[in-house]
Amino acid sequence: MGGWGQAWNSPDSSRAPCDFFFFFFLIFRAASVAYGSSWVRGRIGLQLPAYITATAVWDPSSICDLHHSLQQRRILNHQVIAHSQYLKSKRISIFLSMPDEIETEEIIRDIFQQGKTCFIPRYQFQSNHMDMVKLASPEEISSLPKTSWNIHQPGENEIREEALSTGGLDLIFMPGLGFDNCGNRLGRGKGYYDTYLKRCLQSQDVKPYTLALAFKEQICLQVPMDEHDMKVDEVLYEDSPAS
């Protein structure tokens, strides 16, 4: 059996049930964002294993919250700030984190302290189009309007410098729900980052380095991919090798 079935035949069999249940949790989370939690309860909930259904139906983030320790966040922030790709990059895009993602506030502050240029996502929710627009300061974030995902971002009609129009990007920090050590990534189903990375390849002579930020519990044996998905160059998490 290929794909996720390989987890059950893996030499690391003690980890297999965790990966299996986490895979179903990732499906639940992605569908919750795309269609709303009530749709997921009606269409998916009864098909999930009992453990996932009992936990996730009440609070889709509760499983992930069990693993979101401050220690992991601090370790990852230190890894990023010392990372060779981060140190040499001048133009950086970084996501504004959701509650179930690695918090990026400290990294954003360091970007400005180091005199680098910071860009953040501006999503168009009626499509899969996303721009990376310039952020003036870390303090500006709290004044930006919130989207339906409860993420701050500049308004669609606000004129801002877009990264690909003014020199491109050196480094892109990537969010996601799940990752494997081959660079495969499970996003939230809209394809924003996959589409944007393809635009980068068309606009820049040198591809930006892509660095995913993850909790170690988000690292899976294998993430399913299709022809439209773009791999990340590196997944950074608590136990990942130093770069």
User: Do 18 and 133 lie in a common domain?
Assistant: no
Answer whether residue 208 is part of any domain. Answer: yes
pLDDT band at 225 (very low <50, low <70, confident <90, very high): confident
CA-to-CA distance for 54 and 46, rounded, in angstroms?
A: 10
Task: Give, in degrees to the nearest 5, the angle at Cα 125 between 119 and 127.
Answer: 100
User: Do 79 and 164 lie in a common domain?
Assistant: yes
User: Do 11 and 96 lie in a common domain?
Assistant: no
pLDDT band at 144 (very low <50, low <70, confident <90, very high): very high
Q: What is the DSSP string of 148-197?
A: TTS-B---TTS---BGGGTT--SEEEE--SEE-TTS-EE--SS-HHHHHH
User: Do 18 and 112 lie in a common domain?
Assistant: no
Q: Tell me the mean pLDDT in the region 116-125.
A: 94
CATH of the domain at 201: 3.40.50.10420
Domain that holds residue 10: 3-65
User: Do 87 and 129 lie in a common domain?
Assistant: yes
User: Do 39 and 94 lie in a common domain?
Assistant: no
Q: Tell me the mean pLDDT in the region 52-73.
A: 48
Answer whether residue 242 is part of any domain. Answer: no
Q: Which of 65, 85, 111 is the last residue of a domain?
A: 65
Q: Which of 27, 46, 65 is the last residue of a domain?
A: 65
Answer whether residue 225 is part of any domain. Answer: yes
Tokens of 75: 């370790």
Answer whether residue 23 is part of any domain. Answer: yes
pLDDT of res. 69: 66
Number of domains in the chain: 2
CA-to-CA distance for 42 and 100, rounded, in angstroms?
A: 23
Q: Which of 65, 87, 111 is the last residue of a domain?
A: 65
pLDDT of res. 158: 93
- pTM of the predicted protein model: 0.74
